[in-house]
C-alpha cells in the first residue's frame, strides 16, 4: 500500500493506494474517525460488486452502516437526488455524529461528498473511489458538486474527505470504455505538470497502475495544498480542457459522454488554443492527439452538437470572472497557465477544429 499525504493546513489527510483495500476499509477508516452510524452511498453498478464486502468490513470495525444505492450515471448528479439522499439519511436516524462513505466513481464521489458537506451542516466523508477518474482526480481535493440544466458542477461546496481509499482491484470490473476514459485526467496531469509521465502510460490493462496512480495523486496533492479553494489561480490549472469539455457535456446532455471523453475533446481544443495563443509547437498537439487515440478517447466532435450550445454552456463556467471566459493553456508540455485572452470568436474556432476528421 502506498500512502500519499494531502498536507492541508487545517485538515490534512491521506490517500491510500493498493489492492484489497476495501476489505480493510473499516479498520483503515477507524484510524481517522470513531466508528459510529454511517451512510454508504453507491450506485447500482458498483453495488453489485463491492457493496457487501465494504459493509462487512465496516461492521467488523464497529461501524453501523446503512446503504443507499442511487441509479448509475451522470443523470443522478442533481439536487433532487441530493434531497432524496438527505431525507433517507434522516429517516435512517443518521445525525451530526454520523459519517458518510462514498463508494463509486466520480458521480458518486461528487454527489455523496456534497451531501456530506451539507447534511447536519457537515459530517465526515471518506472517499472509496472505484474508477481511474475518481482515483487520480475527483476523490482528492474536496471539490463536491452537482449539475444543473444550465451547467456542470455549478452547485457545490469544498468538503475535504478525512481519508481516500483507492482499491485498485475495483478497476478490474470496469468495462473498457470506463477504464480508458480515466486516462484523460492522467494525460491532463502530464500536460500541466509532468510531461515525462507521457512516456510511462500503459499499453494494455495487464500493467499494474499502482505507481502511476500514486504519481497522479501526488501531482494533485501538491496543487491542492498550494491553493485549496482555488483562490490564487494555481488550482485552476487542473481545469485544463474542462472549459470546453464541460460545455460539451452539458450541450450533449449529461450521460452522452463519459467525463473523460468530454475532457479529451476539451483538451484537444485547449491544445489548439495553446498553439495559436501560447506558442505551443504544433507537433505537441499532434503528439497528444496520437496518445488520446491510443486510449480510444475521442478527438473529433459530431456536428449534431452545435457550437452555439457549447458556447452558451461555457459562459456559465466557474472559472469565468466578470463575464470574461478564462482558459487554461500550455506553452510547453509540463507547464500551464490561466489566460483571459481567449475571445468567444477564438473559442468558436477551437470548437470548429474539433469538427475536423482525423486519420
**Which residues are part of the catalytic machinery?**
121, 143, 185, 220, 230, 235, 239, 242, 246, 259
Q: Residue with C-alpha cell 454520523?
A: 98
DSSP letter at 331 equals S
* Set of cell numbers at residue 166: 483507492
Strands (E) located in the chain = 2-6, 13-18, 37-43, 64-70, 99-104, 125-129, 143-148, 151-158, 163-167, 327-329, 337-339
| Beta carbons within 8 Å of 25's beta carbon, 6+ residues apart | 54, 57, 58, 101, 126, 128, 165, 167
What DSSP letter does each residue of 168-182 carry, written as one string? GGGGGGS-HHHHHHT
Tell me the sheet residues that pair with 324: 321
Buried b (16+ CB within 10 A) or exposed e, 317-339: bbbeeeeebbbbbbeebeebebe
**210 touches 4 (CB < 8 A):** no
Amino acid at each position: 500500500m502506498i500512502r500519499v499525504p494531502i498536507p492541508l493546513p487545517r485538515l490534512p489527510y491521506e490517500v491510500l493506494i493498493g489492492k484489497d483495500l476495501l476489505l480493510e476499509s473499516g479498520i483503515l477508516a477507524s484510524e481517522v474517525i470513531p466508528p459510529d452510524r454511517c451512510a454508504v452511498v453507491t450506485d447500482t453498478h458498483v453495488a453489485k460488486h463491492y457493496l457487501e464486502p465494504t459493509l462487512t468490513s465496516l461492521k467488523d470495525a464497529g461501524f453501523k452502516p446503512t446503504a443507499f444505492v442511487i441509479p448509475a450515471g451522470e443523470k443522478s448528479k442533481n439536487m433532487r437526488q441530493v434531497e432524496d439522499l438527505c431525507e433517507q439519511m434522516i429517516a435512517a436516524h443518521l445525525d451530526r455524529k454520523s459519517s458518510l462513505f462514498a463508494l463509486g466513481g466520480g458521480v458518486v464521489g461528487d454527489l455523496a461528498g456534497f451531501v456530506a458537506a451539507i447534511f447536519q451542516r457537515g459530517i465526515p466523508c471518506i472517499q472509496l473511489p472505484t474508477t481511474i477518474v475518481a482515483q487520480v482526480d475527483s476523490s482528492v481535493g474536496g471539490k463536491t458538486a452537482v449539475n444543473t440544466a444550465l451547467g456542470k458542477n455549478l452547485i457545490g461546496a469544498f468538503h475535504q474527505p478525512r481519508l481516500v481509499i483507492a482499491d485498485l482491484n475495483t478497476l478490474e470490473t470496469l468495462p473498457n470504455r470506463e477504464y480508458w476514459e480515466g486516462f484523460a485526467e492522467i494525460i491532463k496531469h502530464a500536460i500541466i505538470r509532468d510531461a515525462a509521465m507521457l512516456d510511462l502510460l500503459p499499453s494494455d490493462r495487464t500493467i499494474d497502475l499502482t505507481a502511476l496512480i500514486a504519481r497522479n495523486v501526488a501531482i494533485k496533492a501538491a496543487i491542492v495544498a498550494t491553493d485549496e479553494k482555488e483562490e490564487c489561480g494555481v488550482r485552476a490549472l487542473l481545469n485544463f480542457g474542462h472549459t470546453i469539455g464541460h460545455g460539451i457535456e452539458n450541450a450533449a446532455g449529461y450521460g452522452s459522454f463519459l467525463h473523460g471523453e468530454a475532457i479529451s475533446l476539451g483538451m484537444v481544443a485547449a491544445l489548439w488554443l495553446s498553439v495559436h495563443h501560447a506558442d505551443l509547437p504544433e507537433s505537441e498537439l499532434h503528439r497528444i492527439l496520437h496518445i488520446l487515440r491510443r486510449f480510444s478517447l475521442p478527438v473529433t466532435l459530431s456536428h449534431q452538437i452545435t457550437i452555439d450550445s457549447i458556447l452558451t454552456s461555457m459562459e456559465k463556467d466557474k472559472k469565468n470572472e466578470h463575464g470574461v471566459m478564462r482558459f487554461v493553456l500550455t506553452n510547453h508540455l509540463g507547464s500551464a497557465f490561466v489566460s483571459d485572452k481567449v475571445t468567444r470568436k477564438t473559442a468558436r474556432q477551437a470548437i470548429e477544429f474539433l469538427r475536423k476528421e482525423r486519420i
